[in-house]
């Protein structure tokens, strides 16, 4: 059976790799949010418990399998789905367990936050990064990845937008 593609998807400040400040994204880029929705639709999305609690619990990703990672799965609040709002929510104790239980997925997106990105960098096949220009204050950061470019990942696509750009990297070695 074909292995799922493991894709890190993140928006980060180009200057300092900030991904959040005070529990919120430091920017509002509707086009990037739309792209996140489009890329992840009908796939599996893995996130840390804090990202779930802060960002997604109120609006779980519809028509996707939401997976939350927590050391206390029973404490993660599960909202029941409705006919109008179909989504799936599973809670696992580790990223490895989540990946193991998602082997039938074609694509598995790793959607943060910082602690999950840091652990997933060595597992990822693809990086879908949105690099935001400018100086943003941050208290939560994407892991250092630039030193892996050339040795473990190569840039395969780049799309410029006003004030930000998309960069896609594919793994070339482990």
Ligand X SMILES: NC(=O)c1ccc[n+]([C@@H]2O[C@H](COP(=O)([O-])OP(=O)(O)OC[C@H]3O[C@@H](n4cnc5c(N)ncnc54)[C@H](OP(=O)(O)O)[C@@H]3O)[C@@H](O)[C@H]2O)c1
* Binding region for ligand X (CB under 6 A): 10-11, 19-20, 23, 25, 47-51, 54-55, 69-72, 93-94, 111-116, 119, 140
**Shortest distance, position 2 Cβ to ligand X, whole Å:** 26
**Closer residue to ligand X in complex, CB, 114/124:** 114
- The residues facing 90 across adjacent strands are 67
| 44 and 67 Cβ atoms separated by less than 8 Å | yes
**Shortest distance, position 84 Cβ to ligand X, whole Å:** 26
By Cβ distance, which residue is nearest to ligand X?
A: 113
**Shortest distance, position 62 Cβ to ligand X, whole Å:** 18
**Shortest distance, position 52 Cβ to ligand X, whole Å:** 7
**Closer residue to ligand X in complex, CB, 115/152:** 115
Neighbour tally for 100: CB within 10 Å: 10
**Shortest distance, position 174 Cβ to ligand X, whole Å:** 20
For 9, residues 6+ apart whose C-beta sits below 8 A from its C-beta are 36, 39, 40, 109, 110, 111, 128
Query: Around 93, how many Cα atoms within 13 Å sit in the side-chain half-sphere?
Result: 3
**Nearest alpha carbon to residue 170 among 16, 6, 18:** 6
**Closer residue to ligand X in complex, CB, 5/55:** 55
Gap between the Cα atoms of 104 and 89, Å rounded = 16
**Closer residue to ligand X in complex, CB, 71/82:** 71
Structure tokens at 38: 């489009």
Gap between the Cα atoms of 125 and 75, Å rounded = 31
**Closer residue to ligand X in complex, CB, 33/103:** 33
């Amino acid at each position: 059976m074909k292995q799922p593609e493991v894709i890190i998807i993140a928006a980060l400040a180009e200057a300092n790799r900030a991904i959040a400040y005070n529990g919120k994204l430091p920017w509002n880029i509707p086009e990037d949010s739309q792209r996140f929705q489009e890329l992840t639709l009908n796939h599996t999305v893995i996130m840390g418990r804090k990202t779930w609690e802060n960002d997604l619990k109120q609006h779980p990703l519809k028509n996707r399998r939401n997976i939350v990672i927590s050391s206390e799965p029973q404490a993660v609040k599960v909202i029941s789905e409705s006919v109008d709002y179909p989504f799936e929510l599973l809670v696992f104790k580790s990223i490895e367990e989540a990946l193991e239980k998602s082997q039938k997925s074609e694509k598995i997106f790793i959607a943060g936050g910082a602690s999950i990105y840091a652990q997933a960098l060595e597992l990822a096949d693809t990086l879908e990064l949105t690099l935001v220009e400018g100086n943003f204050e941050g208290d939560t950061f994407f892991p250092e990845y630039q030193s892996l470019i050339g040795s473990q990942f190569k840039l395969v696509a780049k799309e410029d937008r006003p004030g930000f750009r998309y960069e896609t990297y594919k793994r070339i070695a482990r």
